Structure 1
Amino acid sequence: MSTLLVAVDNSLIARKVTQLASEQALAQNADVVVLCCVDASYAGPGSTLIIEAGEDPGDFGAALDEQNTAEAAVRMALSVLHAHGVRATGRVVAGESAQTIVAQANEVNATMIVMGRRHLSSFNRLLKGSVSAAVIERASCPVLVDVRDVKQVKTA
């Protein structure tokens, strides 16, 4: 059984990535682990929060801080995957994004990482660095990066 690791955040890009992951999971008969990284300085107790699929996103309440926002993003992705019949669990993990994505992919023996790209300007890429480029450089499995423009994708 293969496992896809899907990196999401609280953005429109995450919705596209979740849809792409759903298509890939069904095509590959793969399980999915949805991951959202949070800055370690904002993390609550414990470094990893495991979330199961199948819960109603309406029960999540308002996101009040970074960890709650990350949890809501993972739960929303899980609800989409679950609705498409994809077996999925979620994780909120504290740490630097690229390192955490690669480490979690290794931990779950992911056969593929699915993530988005923010289309940073040259200045912001220099200032902040590209998470997707860093993951591609470090990952030991294939990385599928959705590079379509968010404006071209219809949201449900």
Structure 2
Amino acid sequence: MPRTVLIAIDASPARTAIVALARRYCRPDEHELHVLLAIDPSFAVHRSPGLFSAEELDQYPAACDEQRQAEQAMAQALQALREAGFTCVGSTEPGQPVEVIVASAQVLDCELIIMGHRHLSRLGRLLDPSVSSKVIDRVQVPVLVAVAEG
């Protein structure tokens, strides 16, 4: 039975490094990959991907754009992983990233989480630790962190 790996991405260019790390350390015949993108609830227009109504586009243009970017990032990540031979599923979930990642890791009973890391200043880390730091503190499985250049 394939072992489950949770890959937490966002819509930033850093997702490329996260997907590359998954392709490097996971094996298509050994791992089932679950790609997760948490989207701020205030930008989650609806749960199902696809077209937006004229009313949604008119009333919530920024939210529609944010959700569209999230859906595009998910599609690109899934395509890259499937091209490498992986069995994978993806979901875009509304919620705060730490909460969504931790809850998904528990539900999936995953053996590994792969995610990115933002470079914060010392003051920034003190005032608000990174998402990856918060996840590491709350899960009982290894977390492999992709550090994007830049």
TM over 0.5: yes
Report SS of the residue matched to 1:85: coil
Q: After superposition, where does 1:1-156 map in structure 2 within 5 Å?
A: 1-26=2-27, 29-46=30-47, 64-147=64-147, 149-150=148-149
Deviation at 1:102, TM superposition (A): 0.8
User: How does the TM-score come out when normalised to structure 2?
Assistant: 0.81
Deviation at 1:140, TM superposition (A): 2.1
Provide closer, same or farther for how the CA distance between residues 105 and 28 of structure 1 changes in structure 2, counting only shifts above 3 A: farther
Report SS of the residue matched to 1:150: coil
Counterparts of 2:83 and 2:25 in 1: how far apart (Å)? Answer: 15
Identity of aligned residues (%): 37
Counterparts of 2:29 and 2:23 in 1: how far apart (Å)? Answer: 10
Number of aligned residue pairs: 136
Counterparts of 1:103 and 1:89 in 2: how far apart (Å)? Answer: 16
Q: Deviations over 1:71-92 (max 9, x none)?
A: 1111111011011101111110
Q: Deviations over 1:123-145 (max 9, x none)?
A: 33334431000000001211111
Q: Find the counterpart in structure 1 of residue 53 from structure 2.
A: none
What stretches of structure 1 of length at least 5 have no aligned partner?
Answer: 51-62, 152-156
Report SS of the residue matched to 1:104: helix
User: How does the TM-score come out when normalised to structure 1?
Assistant: 0.78
Question: Contact 1:32–1:88 (CA<8 Å) still a contact in 2?
Answer: yes
| Equivalent AA in structure 2 for residue 82 of structure 1 | R
Deviates more, 1:6-15 or 1:19-28: 19-28
What CA RMSD, in Å, does the superposition of the two structures yield over aligned residues?
A: 2.1
Report SS of the residue matched to 2:38: strand
| Equivalent AA in structure 1 for residue 143 of structure 2 | V
Question: Contact 2:28–2:87 (CA<8 Å) still a contact in 1?
Answer: no
